[in-house]
Structure 1
């Protein structure tokens, strides 16, 4: 994937190295409080709370939780030293024109992206299944929003169908928002989508926000990279040099890479006529939206995440693919368990979607049984499953899952597959109805939810947004 020289360069960690040096320097900080300075009680004795902080976070993490900026380390908003180099390396590794680090999660990254695309004064076409951060950000920006319909079949994405209808009605959208990697493993076939998008906007131009929250690590495995958003967008722009288009790709790095929670990437790609303005708009949006007190450990973790993915991503993804295949194979032999695939991929190569092989859905026959298995997995075996959808449980076989952990899961499933407990359902109504996890609205403005039982997804159901 990379030459030896590229590999050496892309595994550098300039920002993490700089923070590492400063964390051990014993700096007396007369700026904002660095919590490491409270490691001892005023009389010099260790306090109970400081000891608990060290147990939870470790002395090195406490030391790295600094409040240093430029010139000692680097400026977040006007990076020109170690952070600037780290961002350039990440852009090169992913294949973007530029990359920004966000320490407020992809919720913050999406808000920044929509601010940069000036969605408040634009007509916006939104993928129906977007995360709540998109819907709320567009509300805040007072954008003119239309939701793309769910396609009747899977041969064409609903966004493309909506764009075709708009073109026939002589209606133009300025911004398109699409989610291309979902919590449930539904992946948009990027090459098919971008080919159709170019056909429909080649003469008008377009700005696109691509939310690729769940699959940043795919960019570092040769087979998975063929459908990764940044690589596919870059290819489409190179294949169509006259296409006036700009893209922002957001990724929750912490969902699939070696990054701390709330670590997110925003990748910039655009045609030459749009790239300078896009860079300026994203920089301004960061300044308006992002916290002015970014977490330095999160920034360093985004530096480390890229280097780690370049060095070990292919091996780790391959291991995860092997383990997920094994889980499916075992599940097919366990009585009372079935492998379920909810991703609409009928039509194979002609489908608008692919299924992420690192996501495994197991069907336990009823919501009550699935709920019981989920609870017992955690209580008895220390196995956490975040997502229940009716009778199915979703197992994300990420790159941190080890063969030993999968052995534990297999043993547990063989023991617990017949467990059953009473279950329940929940229903609600409101402007937005959003289940969490995963934060995808069940209802958006303009839709009506029938007064029918709604299977509970996760632990909570938020209903009045």
Structure 2
């Protein structure tokens, strides 16, 4: 994907290096953040709470907690030195025109993006399954919202269907918002989606927010990159240079890359006017107290992904297949495929594994025993299935422990049934609304004896 010279440059970490130098300098800070002083000047009379803080976070992390007006550490809102350089390197690595670092998660990145897209009073088409941050921001900004829903086996994404209908009615949308990587491993087929989007907006253009929260690391693997948002958008725009389209892509870097929690990327693929609007939106929306450790971790995460991403994703794919093999071979387990048939609007993330336990009760019991007895945390329970997210931090040794636990807990169980009875309400993951404005919940039928409603958290 890169030449040797590009790879060498893209694995530099200018901001993280600068923060590390400042953290080790023992600077006496007469501004703010007293927590940082614990790293260099502990008071012999410190309370047990201060000592607990040191135990929890260590001197190295505490030393990076600073609000320092150092030219080398740059200005977060008017970056022109180290932060500007690391953001340029990150944009180049992903294929964006510009990249911003966000230290308030993709919740904050989505709010910044919608502010930049000027949705106030605009007609906005929203993928029904997008994160709550999108829905709340659109409501706060006063957008005219239409929701589009897509079933996993639909041949065409619901957003495209709604765009076709709007075009036929002569009432096009101003902004489109779509979530392309779900927590459960359903990935929008980006090339197919973008081809249809171009067909419908080739002359009129479009402004699009793409929430790719779960799969930022895919851009660094030669196979998975073929469906990654920014590379696919870049390819579509290169194929259609006259297409007046612009895109903002948000990613929760901490979900799949080596970034601290709440570290998020906001990529811009579009004209200079959009980049200026994003700069202004960052200034208006982002916290004025950004976390310097999170900023540095986003710098390191990109360098690490360039240097090690392909190898680590390959390892994760092998480990995911090993868990699937366990599902096929272990009595009481079965491998659940969330998308049947294929060829529709979605494809499956191969780094996600669903194991079927036969019933919600059994899945809950196995999930609890894996955690209590083996120290294994299972990502999600969705009714009778457990979801294992095999990220690049999962090691072969951890899968060994999981295999031991599954074989011990499930080995004597009967094979799960393929057809389930009952009705279940699954209120997960957090952030995906069960209901949006204009929808009405139908009354649930009276429960039969012994039938339960499950809400899994």
Residues 424 and 455 of structure 2 are in contact (CA less than 8 Å); yes or no, is this contact kept in structure 1?
Answer: no
Match of 2:150? Answer: 150
Greater mean alpha carbon deviation, residues 61-70 or residues 375-384 = 61-70
TM-score (norm 1): 0.92
Judge conservation of contact 2:38–2:62 (CA < 8 Å) in 1.
no
Give TM-score scaled by structure 2 length.
0.93
Q: Identify the residue that residue 267 of structure 2 maps to in structure 1.
A: 267
Segment drifting more, 224-233 vs 150-159: 150-159
Q: Which residue of 1 aligns with 2:282?
A: 286
Structure 1 equivalent of residue 356 of structure 2:
363
Give me the whole-angstrom Cα distance separating, in 2, the residues matched to 1:452 and 1:342. 25
Matches within 5 A, 1:27-106: 27-38=27-38, 44-106=44-106
Matched, 1:241 2:237: no
Structure 1, unaligned runs of 5 or more: 428-433, 460-465
| 1:325/1:457 CA distance change after superposition, 3 Å | farther
1:24-50, CA deviations, whole angstroms, 9 ceiling, x for partnerless residues?
111111111241214589853453222
Change (3 A) 1:79 1:125: same
Indicate the SS of the match to 1:443. coil
Q: Give the C-alpha shift of residue 154 in structure 1.
A: 2.1
1:458 aligns with 2:456: yes
Q: Output one character per residue of 1:147-199: Cα deviation in whole Å (capped at 9) or x when no partner.
A: 01335942110100000111111111010000000000000110000000000
The equivalent position to 1:449 in structure 2, one of 426, 435, 441, is: 441
User: Which deviations, in whole Å up to 9, do the C-alpha atoms of 1:260-280 show, x marking residues without a partner?
Assistant: 00000000002xxxx111111
Question: In 2 relative to 1, CA 209–42 (structure 1 residues): closer, same or farther, beyond 3 Å?
Answer: closer
Residue 139 in structure 1 maps to residue 139 in structure 2: yes
The match for 1:372 is 365
Q: How many residues align?
A: 443
Aligned counterpart for 2:313 among listed residues 317, 333, 344: 317
Shift of the alpha carbon at 1:121? 2.4
Q: How many angstroms apart in 1 are the aligned matches of 2:106 and 2:121? A: 22
1:102-181 → structure 2 map (5 Å cutoff)? 102-151=102-151, 153-181=153-181
Unaligned runs of 5+ in 2: 415-421, 446-451
Partner SS for 1:411: helix
CA distance in 1, matches of 2:47, 2:96: 47
Structure 1 residue 385, shift from structure 2 partner: 1.3
- Per the alignment, residue 431 of structure 1 pairs with none
Q: Find the aligned partners of 1:419 and 1:76 in 2 and give their Cα distance.
A: 56
Alignment of 1:224 onto 2:216: no
| Greater mean deviation of Cα atoms: 32-41 or 172-181 | 32-41
Q: Where does residue 192 of structure 2 map in the other structure?
A: 192
Distance 2:221 2:20 in 1: 29
- Aligned ranges 1:345-360 → 2 under 5 Å: 346=341, 348=342, 350-360=343-353
Task: Please give the per-residue CA displacement for 1:437-463, whole angstroms capped at 9, x wherever unaligned.
Answer: 34211221111222228954532xxxx
SS of residue paired to 2:246: strand
